[in-house]
Structure 1
Amino acid sequence: MLLLMPRLVGRAKKLTVPPALASFGLAPRHLTLLALLLLDGPMTVRVLAERLEVAPATVSLMVGDLSRQGILHRGEDDTDRRRVIVSIAAPHRRAIHAWLAGAADAWRAALEPLTAAERGLVVATLRRYEEGVERSLSKG
């Protein structure tokens, strides 16, 4: 694992932003937000914040920035007009899919032969690793 994890992270960092999206100043923090919207579909800022495990204000700032640039679309929820639904803007969907699909497909292929319980174990193990790294960073 000590050899594998840095390679995984290194490969993920090599996911270069496609030319169609290069002028938007997208950063790694945007990658997960866009991946959630691409793979799971439109959702509210609150749900995005829960899924990203960050404060709603943080997501709101990212969504606002990406919306002003035309990458994301904010629309009213038909069932509750007070709620805003965030989605990827149609003109950028293809480029974002091309950017993120390879990594998503690789995860699907890796996890597909596992049972739901085994997939849960993989995710739980990676979360514990993340927490351990975070603890060691906070000590230093």
Structure 2
Amino acid sequence: MSMPVPMPPSGGDEGVDATVRELLLLMPRLVGRAKRIPVPEALRSFSLAPRHLSLLAYLLLDGPMTVNELAARLEVAPTTVSLLIGDLSRKGILERREDDRDRRRRIVAIADVHEPAISAWLAPGAAAWRTALAPLTADQRRLFVDTLLAYEAGVDAERD
């Protein structure tokens, strides 16, 4: 038996409650669809997890970068990124090389042999986002992203 979802008083704005209901139904479907995107055959043996996907997406879309740059974009500690990179490097998915401008720094990139499979894996999601976001203005796209970030923060606050 399902329990009703408690809704806060609407304060006269019935539209917000209707939208919340719609999103409560939509979000699990979106997550479910994302989870069903098959890992390409060439990558299946690597046991890649969602934490790897974000890192790979940044490297694919923005090109090679340093550990600190990746950590800043992923909003995690550099040590966390170093562990992920070490794991993916040992599997041959990523390559680390010296930065030509500063030999003390290491640049991380997707190994050429795996780039086509990773690109094919991420392409459908990127194409769907482009289709959904293209009709919006820059301000509307920013509002959409800010709304998702506020939702994420709200969910995190509820857990604490």
Same fold (TM over 0.5): yes
Q: Output the CA distance in 1 between the equivalents of 2:95 and 2:137.
A: 36
| Structure 2 match to 1:33 | 55
Q: Output the CA distance in 1 between the equivalents of 2:91 and 2:62.
A: 22
How well do the aligned residues superpose, as a CA RMSD in angstroms? 0.9
Q: Which amino acid in structure 2 is aligned with residue 128 of structure 1?
A: A
Q: Output the CA distance in 2 between the equivalents of 1:55 and 1:13.
A: 26
Whether 2:58 is the aligned partner of 1:58: answer no
Q: Which amino acid in structure 2 is aligned with residue 75 of structure 1?
A: R
1:38-49 correspondence runs (5 A): 38-49=60-71
Q: Output the CA distance in 2 between the equivalents of 1:51 and 1:58.
A: 13
| Structure 2 match to 1:10 | 32
Whether 2:144 is the aligned partner of 1:119: answer no
Q: Which runs of 5+ in 1 are unaligned?
A: none
1:8 Cα deviation from its structure 2 partner? 1.1
- Deviations 1:18-59 (CA, angstroms, capped at 9, x unpaired): 111011110111111111111111111111111111111000
SS of corresponding position for 2:39: coil
Whether 2:140 is the aligned partner of 1:93: answer no
Determine which structure has the larger strand proportion and give its number: 1
**Percent of residue pairs identical:** 68
Among 125, 135, 140, the alignment partner of 2:157 is 135
Q: Output the CA distance in 1 between the equivalents of 2:66 and 2:157.
A: 31
SS of corresponding position for 2:104: strand
Among 101, 107, 121, the alignment partner of 1:79 is 101
1:115 Cα deviation from its structure 2 partner? 1.7
* Bigger relative CO (Cα 8 Å, ≥ 6 apart): 1
Q: Which runs of 5+ in 2 are unaligned?
A: 1-22
Whether 2:90 is the aligned partner of 1:68: answer yes
SS of corresponding position for 1:3: helix
1:7 Cα deviation from its structure 2 partner? 1.2
